[in-house]
Amino acid sequence: MADDAAMPTPDRAAIEAAAQRLTGQIVITPLLTSSLLDARVGRRVLVKAENLQRTGSFKFRGALNTVLSLDAAARKRGVVAFSSGNHAQGVAAAAQQLGIPATIVMPADAPAIKTANTRAYGATVVPYDRQRESREAIAERIAREQQAALIPPFDDPRVIAGQGTVALEIMRQAAELGCMPEIIIAPCSGGGLVGGIALAVAGAQPAIRVYAAEPAGFDDMRRSLAAGQLTANGSGSASICDCLLAPMPGALPFAIAQRHVAGSLTVSDDDVRRAMAVAFSDLKLVLEPGGAAALAAVLAGKLNDAKCIAVVASGGNVDREMFEGALARGAN
């Protein structure tokens, strides 16, 4: 297993290195615009369609960057990860691409499409009860037994650097559109994506403000930033955003957020359903609930002081029943 404690905190150079490592391996996802969407919110909105990334989520970036960073001996022993689904698919697909074994610890109630896809990429799936068991403890035990590399979903500098490549693309594509955003909003669970984006932006366009978007009841990044220390969510909350339910931010993403993230915006499940419906009608995108959180924040009017806002549509791995229900309720 890699010694994460010995790894440097990622910076723009690490993100640029990840971009080089991932060249030709990932999809350069489009930065979409819609006059209908702009009219809805009264400002220019740029949508980074990471639901069109390999495995249907931005998570493939960080997973592949991490696997590619392993030496030959570590690759041969394989990898272990824990995830509610998108990181699981990312690690499984990255391992399949390099021909190495992967074991993924996933909640038993994860969306069926995410579990099925993870298995289809060749990984061994180990289910757990998210209410009663620790996915971290299970994954750490398996990694020790297999002498495999453990790839966390967000609290890892290699993962964060890979996710930060999203922002490099946004800035380049926005410049081509002639609309550099004043604000970038990204969905946030453990904080790997928003942390990577914030680092990339701080090193290139420091005037851009970066915000997290979190589900109500699972706004641990907002709570942590307000408290000045890592703070867990309270118990008893529920959300349809299955990919944004981490109990608290990762230590490394939180340290980055304290320096470079402007704040966190909280959205309701109804806000998310509306965003899923709008993404489908205006942009022809299929988004999962968590993947629509940043767009939901804009549609809900959480920020009204910018002429151009970029949002990350972070994933599209959604079961049919959930998507149909969101479209029906969101349209109303």
Which pLDDT tens digit goes with each residue over 16-70? 999 999 999 999 999 999 999 999 999 999 999 999 999 999 999 999 999 999 9
- pLDDT tens readout for residues 58-88: 999 999 999 999 999 999 999 999 988 899 9
Q: Please report which confidence band the pLDDT of residue 4 belongs to, taking 50, 70 and 90 as the band edges.
A: very low
pLDDT at residue 154 above 90? yes
Residue whose C-alpha is closest to residue 264's, from 201, 219, 303, 310: 219
Per-residue pLDDT at 155: 93
- pLDDT of 81 reads 95
Distance CA(217)–CA(238), nearest Å, equals 7
Give the count of beta carbons closer than 10 Å to the beta carbon of residue 176.
9
pLDDT at 1: 38
Better-predicted residue by pLDDT, 225 or 235: 225
Work out the percent of the chain whose per-residue pLDDT is above 90. Answer: 90
The fold of the 11-57+157-330 domain, in CATH, is Rossmann fold (3.40.50)
Long-range contacts of 198-201 (CB under 8 A, 24+ apart): 198/256, 198/257, 198/259, 198/260, 198/261, 199/10, 199/11, 199/12, 199/15, 199/160, 199/164, 199/256, 199/260, 200/12, 200/15, 200/164, 200/165, 200/166, 200/167, 200/168, 200/171, 201/167, 201/171, 201/260
C-alpha dist (Å) from residue 226 to 188, 245, 255, 258, 326: 16, 19, 13, 10, 31
pLDDT class for 5, splitting at 50, 70, 90?
very low
Question: Roughly how many angstroms between the first and final C-alpha of the chain, as a whole number?
Answer: 50
Span 230-239, average pLDDT? 89
pLDDT score of 230 = 97
Query: Span 89-99, mean pLDDT?
Result: 96
pLDDT interval class at 2 (50, 70, 90) = very low
C-alpha of 238 from chain center: 19
44, 31 contact by CB (below 8 A): no
Amino acid at 130: R
The reported pLDDT for the residue numbered 310 is: 98
Residue 3 confidence class, pLDDT cut points 50, 70, 90: very low
Q: In this predicted model, what pLDDT tens digit does every residue of 116-135 receive, in sequence order?
A: 999 999 999 999 998 889 99
Pairing state between β 31-32 and 44-49: antiparallel
DSSP per residue, 141-159:
HHHHHHTPEEE-SSSSHHH
Return d(Cα 318, Cα 94) in angstroms, integer.
21
Torsion angle, alpha carbons of 128, 64, 90, 244, to 10: 80
**Residue 329: predicted pLDDT:** 87
- Listed by start position, the domains of the chain span 11-57+157-330, 60-151
Q: Given this model, what pLDDT does residue 7 score?
A: 56
Domain 11-57+157-330 identical in fold to domain 60-151: yes
Asked if 137 and 153 touch (Cβ cutoff 8 Å), the reply is no
**Whether CATH 3.10.20.90 fits 60-151:** no
